[in-house]
Amino acid sequence: MEAKEIVKAYYQAVTDGRFEDILKYKSPDATYWISGDGSWPLGGWRTPEDMANIHKLLQDRFPKGLTISIRSVVVEGNSAVVHLNNFAVRVDGKIYDNEIVVLMKLEGGLITEEREFLDTIHVNDLFFGEMEK
């Protein structure tokens, strides 16, 4: 599978809510970083356990799922730059709509590193903020 196909399949698994399947696209020692180190609960380097907790939070707050629309994927060597949009409706009806850029490294047909740049204020509000009644 080519790098672009791996990236697309990975994000399709997330969109489909098949979080256990994303592991087949990632190296066992893959790293994940989210912008905003220390300024909000998800910022910084995340462990696989952290990512599992994020997926659980996503399922709890957005039970209808997350739609990921890939705007573009640019691959050069073992690096990929992905521009995507995340869209979901929280259980209280509030909309999550975020433009994101992810820098990825791939080796041996697996994702080895992800660095995600996004609107941290928006994510923090929707993932950790008060729910409307």
* pLDDT class of 3 with cuts at 50, 70, 90: very high
Average pLDDT of span 22-28: 93
Average pLDDT of span 1-26: 92
Q: What is the pTM of this model?
A: 0.91
The chain-wide mean pLDDT, for the chain, equals: 94
pLDDT for 101 equals 99
Q: Is CATH 3.10.450.50 the classification given to domain 3-128?
A: yes
The residue extents of the domains of the chain are 3-128
Q: Is the pLDDT of residue 102 over 90?
A: yes
> SS3 sequence, the chain?
CCHHHHHHHHHHHHHCCCHHHHHHHEEEEEEEEECCCCCCCCCEEECHHHHHHHHHHHHHHCCCCCEEEEEEEEEECCEEEEEEEEEEECCCCCEEEEEEEEEEEEECCEEEEEEEECCHHHHHHHHHCCCCC
- Per-residue pLDDT reduced to its tens digit, 39-96: 999 999 998 888 889 889 989 999 998 999 999 999 999 999 999 999 999 999 999 9
